[in-house]
Structure 1
Amino acid sequence: MRFAVAGFSLLLSCSGNSSTEPAASDSGGATSATTAASSGAGGGATSSGDATSSGGATSGAGTTTASTTAGGGTTGEGAGGPDQPSCTRNGLAAATQAYLAALSTHDPAGAPIVSSAKYTENTEEVQIGEGLWKTAGQVKLHRYLVDIEQCSTMSEVVLPEDGVDVIMGLRLKVEGGGITEVEAIVTRDGDWLFDAQGYLDSKDQTWDVLPEGQRSTREELIAAAKAYFDVFKDKSVKPPFGEGCERLEGGSAKAPCPVGIPDDVTIGNRRYLADVEAGVSVGIVLFGGESAGLLDAHFFRLIDGTIRNVHSMTVNSRFSTTGWPEAR
């Protein structure tokens, strides 16, 4: 079901390549990873290209991260926390890469997933090894944020499903080195403004770790996401759009960030993650209602306190829940 609102735009890409970081490379392949490093601040928010090799997570911005064997197979160990190695930038990136590598080979034993992990695909709880685990191919594009405070990651991923490209928003929570929560938002042909190629064409956007002087606080990142959602209901709200801010919706539509926002749209069941080093926040919401909205994820890229990029993916069906508690 589509909203009957002319010019309605969700958000995907906002150009804003004013970061001083070099652009991340993206071979578009899925056979080997590139640079590896074991120390430093960790990779940036963009990991383009493959996710199948056994290289380590990269250190520094503008490089391509690779999967690590942060612990193969399922595990029930550990309690974890922000002070644990698994909750470092490199540790979370490694867990994410290991998950995607295992997904593309249809082998959950290749990822550090705990035996009690909860997994949802488009709000429905699914057993690990079922659903997209049976149909996913090699990753073509991967862009992610790392939320150290929540010990979680959130990714934008393009990969084939039975040979046809889909766009996936993937949230992982890690505890004690093991993945305990997996939330997949999968958009396909027929979903809101869907075009996987449009996402692939955005691979030159740089969403890497920012210089400290260009970063926002966690509170500012989440406030920017909240303001963006709030303006759909209240036009007196002023989201901090930066000069040249552009949104990419579903992969097929680009627009300046302030353009095409309709009136009186409720956005409910909100949850947020934030990556202070990379200047990225994400909101997972029901778009259009508290209990009957479209399942949606919006990614916001901030530089110098202003939004430069907005990416969105939206499942064009109404849901009464995201499958997870609203406030996390």
Structure 2
Amino acid sequence: MLYSTSLSLLALASTAHAACSRGFLQEATTAYLQAQSAGKISILSLASNVSYAENNTPIDIQKGVISEAITIDFNRSIYDTVQCATFTELTATSSHPYVIHTRILYAEEKIRTIESVVTDTGDWAFNATGHLYWTKQETWDQIPEGKRDSRTVIQAAGDAYLDQWGAPSLPVPLGTPCARLEGGFYTAREDSISLQANTCKMGAFPQPLKVGDRRYIIDEELGAVDIFNGFPWLEQSKPANYSTPSSNFFKVGDGLIRYIHEITVCATPRCGL
């Protein structure tokens, strides 16, 4: 896919920029949240050639969801000082419910790239109220310096989870317990009678899935990684090799996955399933 190639080039370009401070990224994230809440992109420090995309489609930033005032009920962010990039998950339950994952890449203290996976009614397992309730129950604390995993270990944990979709025999470093929040469905519900309760294990797919177009934001201090990716097979209105826009957000500690948040966009209600 042409756009997939463009995304890969953007990811490579981002690593060429100098690292930046955590303080800068935290301030930049505050500005992003203010801009999204007000629907005013003028709050943001944008590069003249800023790239903006939603659900793997480049669009005019003036017409994007970022230009829509959204009442944000909860948000969680991570900071990648190596790539000079941020990731933010936000949940909104008001007049137009959303769960949005956004990655932003900076250079010379200006935004060069914004990409969002935007989910709302009809998307896979979407339930903003459920998402809000469960995400607020979780603890994503900063990890003491001497106990932090390396970027390599954190990324490998997330990759292993996605790789297993194509090769079920591959090991995945899942912690015990581990909770998976998929749209509004949660595996750690106290009333769950599922065999998957309190675990992040996935059942087998009807066919092996190769998850491509992976783009990473990694935060060693929080032990977290988000992976934007293309989820194949799920959307029934598209060919089997179609990549459905998706994002997987992982909390990792001692090399083990503790939480997973997944949002997935559908071209048709519930992807036709």
Q: TM-score range by the shorter chain?
A: 0.7 to 0.9
Q: Contact 1:95/1:179 (CA < 8 Å) preserved in 2?
A: no
- Alignment partner of 1:89 is 2:22: yes
Q: Contact 1:107/1:129 (CA < 8 Å) preserved in 2?
A: no
51, 64, 71: which one pairs with 1:118? Answer: 51
- Alignment partner of 1:192 is 2:124: yes
- Alignment partner of 1:273 is 2:217: yes
Supply the distance in 1 between the matched residues of 2:30 and 2:62 (Cα, whole angstroms).
17
Supply the AA of the counterpart residue of 1:258.
Answer: K
Deviations 1:151-191 (A, max 9, x none): 11111111368x21100000001111111110011001111
1:152 corresponds to = 85
Q: Contact 1:295/1:317 (CA < 8 Å) preserved in 2?
A: no
Supply the distance in 2 between the matched residues of 1:90 and 1:159 (Cα, whole angstroms).
26
1:205 corresponds to = 138
* CA separation of 1:80 and 1:229: change in aligned 2, threshold 3 A: closer
262, 268, 271: which one pairs with 1:312? Answer: 262
Supply the AA of the counterpart residue of 1:309.
Answer: Y
Supply the distance in 2 between the matched residues of 1:133 and 1:305 (Cα, whole angstroms).
34
Number of equivalences = 235
Deviations 1:107-149 (A, max 9, x none): 2111112221111111222222222134331221111111111
Supply the distance in 2 between the matched residues of 1:195 and 1:189 (Cα, whole angstroms).
8
Q: Contact 1:233/1:266 (CA < 8 Å) preserved in 2?
A: yes
Report how far residue 312 of structure 1 moved.
0.5
Supply the distance in 1 between the matched residues of 2:204 and 2:72 (Cα, whole angstroms).
32
The alignment partner of 1:136 has SS state of coil
Supply the distance in 1 between the matched residues of 2:66 and 2:214 (Cα, whole angstroms).
27
Q: RMSD across aligned C-alpha pairs, in angstroms?
A: 2.0
2:227 corresponds to = 283
1:50 corresponds to = none
2:60 corresponds to = 127
167, 170, 189: which one pairs with 2:99? Answer: 167
Supply the distance in 1 between the matched residues of 2:241 and 2:24 (Cα, whole angstroms).
36
More helix by share: 2
Q: Percent identity?
A: 33
Supply the distance in 2 between the matched residues of 1:287 and 1:223 (Cα, whole angstroms).
18
* CA separation of 1:220 and 1:194: change in aligned 2, threshold 3 A: same
201, 206, 221: which one pairs with 1:258? Answer: 201
Q: Taking CA–CA contacts closer than 8 Å with sequence separation of 6 or more, which of the two structures ends up with the larger relative contact order?
A: 1
303, 325, 328: which one pairs with 2:253? Answer: 303
Supply the AA of the counterpart residue of 1:141.
Answer: F
Q: Contact 2:61/2:67 (CA < 8 Å) preserved in 1?
A: no
113, 138, 151: which one pairs with 1:218? Answer: 151
- Alignment partner of 1:236 is 2:236: no
Which consecutive aligned stretches of 4+ in structure 1 deviate over 4 angstroms post-superposition?
A: none
Report the TM-score, using the length of structure 2 for normalisation. 0.80
- Mapping of 1:39-118 within 5 angstroms? 81-82=18-19, 87-118=20-51
The alignment partner of 1:149 has SS state of coil
Q: Contact 2:180/2:200 (CA < 8 Å) preserved in 1?
A: yes
* CA separation of 1:140 and 1:261: change in aligned 2, threshold 3 A: farther
Report how far residue 212 of structure 1 moved.
2.3
The alignment partner of 1:183 has SS state of strand
* CA separation of 1:160 and 1:180: change in aligned 2, threshold 3 A: farther
168, 173, 179: which one pairs with 2:111? Answer: 179
Deviations 1:30-63 (A, max 9, x none): xxxxxxxxxxxxxxxxxxxxxxxxxxxxxxxxxx
Supply the distance in 2 between the matched residues of 1:149 and 1:297 (Cα, whole angstroms).
20
- Mapping of 1:26-37 within 5 angstroms? none
Supply the distance in 1 between the matched residues of 2:241 and 2:60 (Cα, whole angstroms).
25
The alignment partner of 2:97 has SS state of strand
Report the TM-score, using the length of structure 1 for normalisation. 0.67
Supply the distance in 2 between the matched residues of 1:238 and 1:136 (Cα, whole angstroms).
43
Supply the AA of the counterpart residue of 2:253.
Answer: I
